[in-house]
Structure 1
Amino acid sequence: MRSISLTRSMRWAALTVSALALLSLPARAQTDHDHGHHAHQALGTVHFPVSCRPEAQAVFDEAMKLQHSFWYQASEKKFQEVLARDPGCAMAQWGRALSLLYNPFLPPTPQNLAKGLAALEEAQRLGAPTDREAGFIDALLVFYRDHATKDHRSRVLAYEAAMASLAARFPDDPEVRIFYALALNVAASPTDKTYAKPLKAAEILEAEWQRQPDHPGVVHYLVHTYDFPPLAQRGLKAALRYAEIAPDAPHALHMPSHIFTRVGYWPQSVETNARSAEKARIAAETDDLLHASDYMVYAQLQMGQDEAARRIIADRNSFAGTRMIRPAGPFALAAMSARFALERGAWEEAARLDLRPTAFPFVDAITHYARAIGHARSGRPEEATAEVAALTRLVGALDKDAYWKEQVEVQRLSARAWTAFAEGRRDDALALMREAADREGRTEKHVVTPGPLAPARELLAEMLLEVDRPAEALREFEAVQVTEPRRFRAIAGAAKAAERMNDGEAARTHYGALVQVAAQADTARPDLEKAKAYLSN
């Protein structure tokens, strides 16, 4: 196992250098487009033919450019503009319903579900003049209809089936194919480690990319398609290309970091998310601003840029009182503060985190989880037990959301494990921590987050190191780096485990990797200083 991990560490280092050169492309593309005469010029090329008045077609295409970059508030306004030019355009109502999904990887709000259903019913009343357009409307209706009685996951799968049927009827229609690929990605099971649906989507999208190299949706959905550890390398080209095609869209500038995070390209993630956050700030898109910031802070913390992360968090906390009806913004606010404490091993800070209650139980769980770990690892199991009880309540509140229920259960198990450890019940603690690691390993992270607040397997490895089982700890730290490459704590832990085993070669390699990952650190973290001292001997 160790030889595989060491080879991977060297490969990541080489790849990072090559990607730094590549990343200058999007920045150049942005300056090429900045002379545009209207706000949404640099968004790629889309032609989605519809049977509406000719004067409405160009506006419909503009709306679809925005929609393919999940710029949903702007796209809905454009679809309204289409209706102003052609009140009888049924597909503009379909477009409104599409924009009301917001990010389709997250459940829409109840208000949007009601509005979207009304828009589609109006589209049916107006009548689609072609079978293709009627097919688009009917397929989306499958998702919106019965939203009050059928759960989100069931409706997602029904929509995927409807789009599969439409794609079978219109196999040569580019937009049908592209939306079918997106439906496959949204419907992919987080526990399917064969990645069957994403790989099917990849086949469709890669073929379409050859025909439409500047289509924003194609490259955007390819990034989502490859946003898994075993597939991430395949997504680098699309990630770089998307930011180049659509540099005026905040989401387009953020999306490359989904792949950069998967392969540990931290400087590139910071750079593209900084650009995304600035675009989002200008456009007053708070969710996009905070989402990009969470990914940026995650990358900064892996590089030991704690002061840079501190500044970002302090700035973004000014949005804490903003009303946000979608989870991405609140999630980012809670996660950034929790990450800042947990990634640095600042257990007292973690224990003192302020809870900002939200409408989303899995968001509130972030703070309770971080506080539980902070209390337990500061030697206060009684206080940790109260936080575990809060996590237990939140798990119960997620009965209708199987994915997040499992994620919060992993956090609860991890918190229970460290609480048991603080109580001196080390065998119980290790058993609980291993269960958490195994359960987390059977699923995938959600698009809303760059990664777990603290990978459960990493916490298991740290616990093994605490009980002086360095060989087992090293195996677990190296396993973390297969799915979460170039993580500061996983590399530092592996180095310490190897050193404790008196494996000088492995220790030097891991300490060397740590120094390389944190080459641009702005803080003298103890683990980094130890790595430098070890390598200087």
Structure 2
Amino acid sequence: MFHSLPRQLAASALALSLYGAGLPAQTLGTIDFPTSGRADAQAQFLRGVLYMHSFEYQSAATAFREAQKLEPGFAMAYWGEALNYTHPVWNEQDSVAARATLQRLAATPAARRAKAPTARERGYLEAVELLYGEGSKPRRDTLYSRAMERLSHDHPNDHDARTLYALSLLGLSQGTRDIPTYIRAGAVADEVFRVNPNHPGAAHYVIHAFDDPIHAPLGLRAARAYSKIAPDAAHAQHMTTHIFVALGMWDDVVSQNVIAAGHNHGAWGPGHYTAWLGYGMLQQGRLAESRKHLETVRGNLGTTSRAPTRAYLMSMRAHYLINSERWDDPSRSWTVDASGVGPAPQAMDAFALGYAAVKRGDRSEAARRLVELVERGKRSPENDR
């Protein structure tokens, strides 16, 4: 079904375009995404798409804006930045910023379409117009997904249309795992992965599609490949471990999250990668090292930390207490500011501290944490359904 440039040729073409544009050498994978853009703007555009495929959204936005500066009328650079404001797997969308981006290209959909010189590029623009058009988010997500399905059907050699269609399927269930839809998305992405095993989006979306204990074996090949496809994308180093966790491959979980968290171990703070790293250490039985890791990230929390960072510290402490069974550990007395933290991390924290109190025989502390746990449960979005 798919036909493309030989892999080495495509990789060389991309590398040469980035080098020619004066960009630092980076390895983010291989895509073949021709547009009508000027060579220097095209190099930045490709960089943006590569970063976007690996969910490195800030870096992607920077690259797309640089492409716009180099060629203000380059429609696909605005398409890329606009699409970059939707994160389907995480059910996040900044439609205001996306619409403002499209407005910078031209005032109306018709005027924007006129900026795209080819039918294929117009297809991409028309799809993103539906994504940020009228109606509820679920309706717009569905219309966008159907448009990407048509685009990939009309241009069967376009691997990026196909992989972005797979990603759109992952967003249809609005942040929950609808298994039949996810399996369909995985099958679509895997078609591309088999033809271009260096495509970052194909490998990445296969992993997301099969990110559960039952289907994880179907994503293992992509997980083994993805960290090597995009070594300069931190998310790629971490994302492989979603499959490794599901399969209990704790050595791989730890080694990959060490890479994802960065070489400066002493500066690690609470976050997604360090949380997964700490959990992996616990599953390996490295209790002393995981305790030291917890102390390090707490020490780097800072006095002006954001709520998500404090939420990670809460969850990391909870995992440590429950998995280490060190019920008297001094971390139980740490005060963590809960302002702005969602009910789920607070509930996890209250449960772990309460369970530790039960194990110590501290009935007063256990009762207090039980009240907290009930209150957090009342504030959970689950109770609004």
Q: Taking structure 1 as reference, are residues 311 and 70 closer, same or farther at Cα in structure 2, changes over 3 Å only?
A: same
Deviations 1:47-67 (A, max 9, x none): 322232333112211111111
Once the two structures are superposed, the pairs formed by residues 319-398 of structure 1 within 5 Å of their partners are 319-321=300-302, 327=308, 329-349=309-329, 352-361=333-342, 362-398=344-380
Choose which of 231, 249, 263 in structure 2 pairs with 1:265.
Answer: 249
Rounded to whole Å, the distance in 2 between the matches of 1:208 and 1:324 is 41
Deviations 1:215-268 (A, max 9, x none): 111111111122111111122211111111111111111111111111111111
Deviations 1:63-121 (A, max 9, x none): 111111111111111111101111112221222223334x5422447xx4422231133
Letter in 2 for 1:100: Y
Alignment match, 1:292: 273
Q: Taking structure 1 as reference, are residues 202 and 81 closer, same or farther at Cα in structure 2, changes over 3 Å only?
A: same
Once the two structures are superposed, the pairs formed by residues 6-405 of structure 1 within 5 Å of their partners are 39-101=24-86, 103-108=87-92, 112-123=94-105, 125=107, 127-128=112-113, 129=116, 130-145=118-133, 150=136, 156-157=141-142, 159-188=144-173, 195-278=179-262, 290-321=271-302, 327=308, 329-349=309-329, 352-361=333-342, 362-399=344-381, 402=382
CA contact (8 A) 1:41 1:248 kept: yes
Higher relative contact order, structure no. (Cα contacts within 8 Å, ≥ 6 residues apart): 1
Q: CA RMSD in A?
A: 3.4
Rounded to whole Å, the distance in 2 between the matches of 1:159 and 1:263 is 34
TM-score relative to the length of structure 1: 0.59
Q: Taking structure 1 as reference, are residues 89 and 187 closer, same or farther at Cα in structure 2, changes over 3 Å only?
A: same
Q: Taking structure 1 as reference, are residues 97 and 395 closer, same or farther at Cα in structure 2, changes over 3 Å only?
A: farther
Q: Taking structure 1 as reference, are residues 354 and 395 closer, same or farther at Cα in structure 2, changes over 3 Å only?
A: same
Alignment match, 1:26: none
Rounded to whole Å, the distance in 1 between the matches of 2:370 and 2:95 is 34
TM-score relative to the length of structure 2: 0.80
Rounded to whole Å, the distance in 1 between the matches of 2:202 and 2:264 is 22
Rounded to whole Å, the distance in 1 between the matches of 2:364 and 2:123 is 58
Rounded to whole Å, the distance in 2 between the matches of 1:100 and 1:191 is 19
Shift of 1:138: 4.0
Q: Between Structure 1 and Structure 2, whose CA radius of gyration is higher?
A: 1
Q: Taking structure 1 as reference, are residues 294 and 166 closer, same or farther at Cα in structure 2, changes over 3 Å only?
A: same
Rounded to whole Å, the distance in 2 between the matches of 1:231 and 1:99 is 28
Rounded to whole Å, the distance in 1 between the matches of 2:263 and 2:77 is 27
SS of the residue corresponding to residue 369 of structure 1 reads: helix
CA contact (8 A) 1:63 1:75 kept: yes
Question: Structure 2: any 5+ residue segments left out of the alignment?
Answer: 1-14
Q: Taking structure 1 as reference, are residues 48 and 108 closer, same or farther at Cα in structure 2, changes over 3 Å only?
A: same
Rounded to whole Å, the distance in 1 between the matches of 2:303 and 2:231 is 27
Q: Taking structure 1 as reference, are residues 191 and 182 closer, same or farther at Cα in structure 2, changes over 3 Å only?
A: closer
Rounded to whole Å, the distance in 1 between the matches of 2:227 and 2:156 is 29
Rounded to whole Å, the distance in 2 between the matches of 1:405 and 1:325 is 26
CA contact (8 A) 1:198 1:225 kept: yes
Larger mean CA deviation between 155-164 and 57-66 belongs to 155-164
Q: State the number of aligned residues.
A: 358
Shift of 1:160: 3.5
Q: Taking structure 1 as reference, are residues 386 and 207 closer, same or farther at Cα in structure 2, changes over 3 Å only?
A: same
Q: Taking structure 1 as reference, are residues 138 and 338 closer, same or farther at Cα in structure 2, changes over 3 Å only?
A: farther
